C-alpha cells in the first residue's frame, strides 16, 4: 500500500494485507490503539510465521476491535521482501498505520481503493455509470445496465464484504432485493431476496451486526418498525424486529457511537429532533435525543466529517445551500460547523469521501447542469469547491 498505509476488514478472521509476500520469520506484530484515557492498549501480538506466498497476516484480537486510532508496530527482522530487505519505508520498530472500516465507511467505492467514486443511475434505461477513482479522470466510466424503470437504486452497500460497493436495486412493487456482488463475475446471476412489502422504505449501507457486510433492512413508516436481516445470522433465521419511531419520521441510520455497528435512528422533521438508539447501549435503554435543525431541512446521515470513527449529526438547508454539522468530537453545546455550498436547489450527496483522507466531504449535486460540487475535508472544508460535471438531467446521483 502507498505510504505504508493499509486496510483491515472486520470479520471472522481479520487480517492485514501487505503489498508483497513476507519472508518466513518468528513474527512480531503489535496492534495498538490510543484509547479515551490517552494510554496505549496492545490488542494483539501475532507470533506466527509468514510465508512468501501468503501476503495476509491474520489477527487474533484479545478483545473486540474498536474502530479508530489503530496502528501496528512491525519489527525490522520479521517482515521482509523477497530480497531479504525490510518493506519500503520500514525501519526498526517501524510504524505501519491502517484504517479499520466501520459502518460509516460503507460509501460509493466501487473499485475498493478507499476513495468514493462519482456515480449516477439513469432510471429510464436502468443504467449505472461510475467514474472510478482508480482510473484516469478522462477514462470512460464503467457502465452497467441493472434494473428497470421504477426500481430503486441502492447506493453504498457492500453485501459480500469484499471492500467494494455492490450494484443493487430494490423493487418496490414486489419488495425484492437484487444484488450484483462485486466479488462475482459481471455476468453472474444476481442474488435475489424477497424482504419487505409494498410501501416500506429500503435502508441501504447499514451494518448492524458489525461483520463488515451490509445487512438487508427496511423501515415500515406506518408502524414505525425496523426489520433487519443480519448477514452474520444463519440462513433462514428470523429478522431482527424493532419498533422505533412513529409515522412521518425519517430513518437516519449511522454509527453514532463508533462501535462498528450501525445504530437505528430517526429524524422528526416537525420538531427537528434526532432520536438515536445506540447499539453499544442496552436495547431497552433510553435513546439519545438531540434537537438539531428546523422544519424543511434535509437530514444528512452516516457521514464522519471529523474522522473520529463516529457518524456526525448533519443537516442541509436546500433554500440557502447551507450545511450544518455537529462534530462528535466537540461538546454537544458547541456551535455547529457551517458550510455554504452552491446555493438553493441542490441535492446533498451523503457520506462519501472523495479525497480518501478518512473524513466525509461536503458534496451537493446540481440537477439542471448535472454538476457535482465538492468541498474537500482534506482542505478543512475551506476555499473554493471543486466542480465536476458527470451525468445529465434526470439522473440520480449515487
pLDDT per residue as tens digits for the range 374-394: 999 888 888 788 999 999 999
Domain span at 173: 104-397
Same domain, 273 and 389: yes
Domain boundary among 55, 71, 100: 100
Same domain, 326 and 338: yes
Q: Phi and psi of 120, rounded to 5°?
A: -140, 160
Q: CATH number for the domain including 202?
A: 2.120.10.30
Say how far apart CA 64 and CA 42 lie, in whole Å: 12
Say how far apart CA 10 and CA 347 lie, in whole Å: 32
User: How does pLDDT run across 245-265, given as a tens digit for each residue?
Assistant: 999 999 999 999 988 899 999
Same domain, 238 and 362: yes
The domain tally of the chain equals 2
Q: Categorise residue 329: left if φ over 0, alpha if ψ from -120 to 50, beta otherwise.
A: alpha
141, pLDDT greater than 60: yes
Domain boundary among 51, 66, 100: 100
What mean pLDDT do residues 169-185 have? 95
Same domain, 276 and 368: yes
User: How does pLDDT run across 346-364, given as a tens digit for each residue?
Assistant: 999 988 999 888 889 999 9
Q: What is the pLDDT of residue 38?
A: 40
Domain boundary among 53, 74, 100: 100
Same domain, 151 and 243: yes
Percent of the chain at pLDDT > 70 equals 73
**Paired sense of beta strands 152-154 and 201-203, if any:** unpaired
Same domain, 17 and 146: no
Same domain, 196 and 58: no
Q: CATH number for the domain including 91?
A: 2.60.40
Same domain, 160 and 93: no
Q: What is the pLDDT of residue 125?
A: 96
Residue 105 pLDDT level (bands cut at 50, 70, 90): low
User: How does pLDDT run across 25-71, given as a tens digit for each residue?
Assistant: 434 444 444 344 444 333 333 434 333 333 344 333 333 333 333 33
DSSP secondary structure letters along 30-53? EEEEE-TTS-EEEEEEE-----SS
Same domain, 203 and 187: yes
Cβ(315)–Cβ(292) below 8 Å: yes
* H/E stretch holding 289: strand 288-291
Say how far apart CA 379 and CA 80 lie, in whole Å: 36
Task: Provide the whole-model pTM.
Answer: 0.76
Q: What is the pLDDT of residue 20?
A: 39
Question: Which of the listed ranges 10-14, 89-93, 332-336 does the model predict with the highest average pLDDT?
Answer: 332-336
> Of 70, 77, 84, 72, which is closest to residue 20 (Cα–Cα)?
84
Q: What is the pLDDT of residue 138?
A: 80
Same domain, 184 and 92: no
Amino acid at each position: 500500500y502507498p505510504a505504508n498505509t493499509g486496510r483491515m476488514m472486520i470479520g471472522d478472521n481479520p487480517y492485514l494485507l501487505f503489498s508483497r509476500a513476507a519472508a518466513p520469520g518468528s513474527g512480531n506484530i503489535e496492534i495498538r490503539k490510543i484509547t479515551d484515557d490517552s494510554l496505549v492498549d496492545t490488542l494483539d501480538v501475532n507470533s506466527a510465521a509468514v510465508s512468501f506466498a501468503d501476503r495476509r497476516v491474520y489477527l487474533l484480537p484479545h478483545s473486540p476491535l474498536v474502530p479508530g486510532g489503530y496502528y501496528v508496530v512491525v519489527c525490522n527482522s520479521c517482515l521482509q521482501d523477497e530480497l531479504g530487505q525490510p518493506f519500503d519505508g520500514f525501519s526498526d520498530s517501524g510504524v505501519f498505520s491502517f484504517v479499520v472500516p466501520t459502518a460509516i465507511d460503507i460509501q460509493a467505492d466501487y473499485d475498493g481503493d478507499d476513495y468514493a467514486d462519482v456515480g449516477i443511475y439513469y432510471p429510464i434505461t436502468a443504467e449505472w455509470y461510475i467514474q472510478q477513482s482508480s482510473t484516469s479522470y478522462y477514462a470512460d466510466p464503467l457502465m452497467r445496465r441493472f434494473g428497470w424503470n421504477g426500481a430503486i437504486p441502492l447506493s453504498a452497500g457492500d453485501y459480500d464484504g469484499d471492500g467494494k460497493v455492490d450494484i443493487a436495486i430494490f423493487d418496490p412493487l414486489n419488495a425484492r432485493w437484487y444484488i450484483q456482488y462485486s466479488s462475482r463475475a459481471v455476468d453472474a446471476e444476481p442474488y435475489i431476496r424477497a424482504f419487505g412489502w409494498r410501501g416500506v422504505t429500503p435502508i441501504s449501507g447499514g451494518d448492524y451486526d458489525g461483520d463488515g457486510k451490509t445487512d438487508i433492512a427496511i423501515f415500515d413508516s406506518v408502524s414505525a418498525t425496523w426489520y433487519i436481516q443480519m448477514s452474520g445470522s444463519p440462513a433462514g433465521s428470523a429478522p431482527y424486529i424493532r419498533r422505533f419511531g412513529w409515522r412521518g419520521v425519517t430513518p437516519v441510520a449511522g454509527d453514532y457511537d463508533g462501535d462498528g455497528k450501525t445504530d437505528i435512528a430517526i429524524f422528526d422533521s416537525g420538531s427537528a429532533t434526532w432520536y438515536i438508539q445506540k447499539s453499544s447501549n442496552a436495547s431497552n435503554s433510553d435513546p439519545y435525543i438531540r434537537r438539531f435543525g428546523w422544519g424543511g431541512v434535509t437530514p444528512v446521515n452516516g457521514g464522519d466529517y471529523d474522522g473520529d470513527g463516529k457518524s456526525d449529526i448533519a443537516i442541509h438547508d436546500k433554500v440557502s445551500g447551507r450545511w450544518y454539522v455537529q462534530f462528535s468530537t466537540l461538546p454537544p453545546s458547541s456551535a455547529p460547523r457551517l458550510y455554504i455550498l452552491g446555493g438553493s436547489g441542490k441535492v446533498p450527496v451523503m457520506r462519501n469521501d472523495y479525497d480518501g483522507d478518512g473524513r466525509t466531504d461536503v458534496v451537493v449535486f446540481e440537477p439542471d447542469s448535472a454538476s457535482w460540487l465538492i468541498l474537500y475535508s482534506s482542505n478543512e472544508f475551506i476555499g473554493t469547491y471543486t466542480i465536476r460535471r458527470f451525468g445529465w438531467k434526470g439522473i440520480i446521483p449515487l
